């Protein structure tokens, strides 16, 4: 069980705001703040290169820390500047050819959808969207049927969408991909840090994530997991002296681990901070984190559902900490701004960013609690939404 008072005391932002925008960027805990600040100070007083060498042990701690959090090996982890770039590095490394098919979900992120369309134009790849099941999540039955038809080069889905609260059946997808010998790329930017993740159990070949969301790391950080027996079959879209060695004037040799997806220049303070954030989450326990977030989100949904005029947009057999809702006759952006004036942070989702999802709300308020939030803060949000017409 998480000691809520302790983690709130270690989170300076809890004293100034009710932060329910953790699906956007969570509040960093003091150990992460200290780690980043200390390295900035070291760079300022000793020089960037010199600070990097002095902090080598702390920088390298990132790899086992993140690997341990998701059930991977350190050599399967790459530090990348954000989740989008991590996903891009994996996606664009896959050799595609005319006639290949990519399968995705109705709830795919807009950045990923744009990338799908780019390779469709470039290589003649076909992108097919697997329909939802009766719960509104990716249909495992339809996915199995698509895989039986063949010509599938990649299954690329998100674990937790940004706009409707569901959790896609990632492990069931992994099982089907393994049976069909099809590559599986999982975008976990909204799940790492709020759900217990085990890449072996899920069965994904690649997984991308960010530091700034539920993991509570610094902005400008992310990571990529690539399974060890897949990594050498993938060539990153660009290389440098970190990802490869220039062995002769006309030859080079790529690394044989996940760091072939890294670049030499990096946000060193951020890498250190992200490692600290991973250790912080592991110390609390990922199961306890998931239980706490799920509890708060379920409480929030129950309270909102009881209010006249409030419509919940969340679906899925299993739901995440992301809660989306609209209020009859009221603009979601205005609700967000009204809450901000009262010291409550939420976000707004936009349906035009969900081109595959015909069921997405045009605009909806998105509240995403974390384990450091309290039950009283859930009540405060509902009271603020319903007391102002």
Each residue's pLDDT tens digit, 220-260: 999 999 999 999 999 999 999 999 999 999 999 999 999 99
The CATH code of the domain that includes 101 is 3.40.640.10
- 265 shares its domain with 291: no
Say what the pLDDT of residue 150 is.
84
The DSSP annotation for 230-278 comes to TGGG---SS--TTTEEEEETTEEEE-SSGGGG--SS--HHHHHHHHHHH
Evaluate if residue 318 carries a pLDDT over 80.
Answer: yes
Nearest by Cα to 38 from 272, 369, 198, 299: 272
Nearest by Cα to 314 from 306, 326, 327, 296: 326
Distance of alpha carbon 340 from alpha carbon 190, whole angstroms = 22
* Contacts for 279 with CB less than 8 Å, ≥ 6 apart: 61, 65
| Angle (nearest 5°) at CA 335 between 331 and 341 | 145
Point out the domain boundary residue: 283, 318, 338.
283
Say what the pLDDT of residue 212 is.
97
- 302 shares its domain with 277: no
Structure tokens at 259: 């760091």
Structure tokens at 132: 């939802």
Distance of alpha carbon 112 from alpha carbon 208, whole angstroms = 12
- 191 shares its domain with 295: no
Evaluate if residue 128 carries a pLDDT over 70.
Answer: yes
- 190 shares its domain with 233: yes
The DSSP letter of residue 212 is: S
β-pairing, 222-226 vs 77-80, is antiparallel
pLDDT tens, 166-178? 999 999 999 999 9
| 324 in Cβ contact with 354 (< 8 Å) | no
- 355 shares its domain with 322: yes
- 92 shares its domain with 148: yes
- The residue behind tokens 């250190």 is 272
- 133 shares its domain with 175: yes
Domain with 366 in it: 4-27+285-387
pTM over the 0.75 mark? yes
Evaluate if residue 29 carries a pLDDT over 60.
Answer: yes
Point out the domain boundary residue: 254, 283, 312.
283
- 211 shares its domain with 300: no
- 265 shares its domain with 308: no
- 273 shares its domain with 358: no
Say what the pLDDT of residue 388 is.
62
Nearest by Cα to 100 from 127, 78, 76, 79: 127
Point out the domain boundary residue: 238, 254, 283.
283
Distance of alpha carbon 302 from alpha carbon 345, whole angstroms = 20
CA distances from 49 to 39, 55, 88 (A): 12, 10, 28
How many CA atoms, within 13 angstroms, populate the side-chain half-sphere of residue 119? 24
Distance of alpha carbon 55 from alpha carbon 193, whole angstroms = 25
The number of folded domains in the chain is: 2
β-pairing, 363-367 vs 18-19, is unpaired
The CATH code of the domain that includes 297 is 3.90.1150.10
The DSSP letter of residue 367 is: E
Say what the pLDDT of residue 231 is.
97
> Hey, CA dihedral for 160, 161, 167, 173, is it positive or negative?
negative
- 130 shares its domain with 241: yes
| 370 in Cβ contact with 301 (< 8 Å) | no
Say what the pLDDT of residue 387 is.
85
- 234 shares its domain with 107: yes
Distance of alpha carbon 363 from alpha carbon 111, whole angstroms = 18
């Amino acid at each position: 069980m998480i000691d809520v008072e302790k983690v709130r005391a270690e989170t300076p932002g809890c004293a100034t705001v009710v932060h329910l925008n953790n699906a956007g960027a969570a509040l960093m805990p003091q150990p992460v703040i200290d780690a980043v600040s200390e390295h900035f100070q070291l760079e300022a007083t000793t020089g960037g290169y010199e600070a990097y060498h002095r902090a080598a042990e702390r920088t390298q701690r990132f790899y086992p820390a993140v690997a341990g959090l998701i059930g991977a090996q350190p050599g399967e982890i790459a530090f990348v500047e954000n989740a989008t770039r991590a996903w891009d590095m994996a996606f664009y490394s896959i050799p595609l050819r005319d006639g290949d098919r990519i399968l995705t979900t109705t709830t795919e992120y807009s950045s990923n959808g744009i990338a799908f369309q780019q390779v469709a134009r470039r290589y003649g790849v076909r992108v097919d969207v697997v329909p939802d099941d009766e719960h509104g999540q990716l249909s495992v039955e339809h996915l199995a049927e698509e895989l039986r038809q063949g010509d599938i080069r990649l299954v690329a889905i998100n674990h937790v969408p940004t706009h409707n609260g569901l959790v896609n059946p990632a492990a069931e997808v992994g099982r089907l991909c393994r049976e069909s010998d099809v590559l599986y790329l999982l975008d976990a930017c909204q799940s790492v840090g709020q759900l217990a993740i085990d890449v072996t159990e899920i069965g994904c070949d690649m997984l991308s994530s960010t530091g700034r969301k539920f993991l509570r790391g610094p902005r400008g950080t992310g990571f990529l997991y690539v399974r060890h027996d897949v990594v050498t079959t993938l060539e990153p879209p660009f290389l440098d002296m970190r990802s490869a060695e220039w062995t002769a004037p006309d030859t080079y040799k790529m690394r044989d681990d996940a760091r072939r997806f890294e670049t030499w220049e990096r946000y060193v303070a951020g890498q250190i901070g992200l490692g600290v954030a991973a250790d912080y989450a592991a110390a609390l326990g990922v199961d306890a984190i998931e239980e706490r977030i799920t509890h708060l989100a379920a409480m929030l949904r129950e309270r909102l559902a009881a209010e006249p005029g409030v419509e919940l947009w969340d679906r899925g057999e299993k739901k995440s900490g992301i809660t989306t809702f609209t209020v009859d006759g009221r603009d979601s952006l205005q609700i967000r701004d009204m809450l901000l004036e009262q010291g409550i942070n939420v976000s707004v989702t936009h349906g035009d960013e969900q081109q595959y999802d015909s069921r997405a709300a045009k605009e909806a308020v998105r509240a995403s609690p974390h384990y450091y939030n309290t039950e009283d803060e859930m009540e405060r949000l509902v009271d603020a939404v319903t007391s102002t017409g």
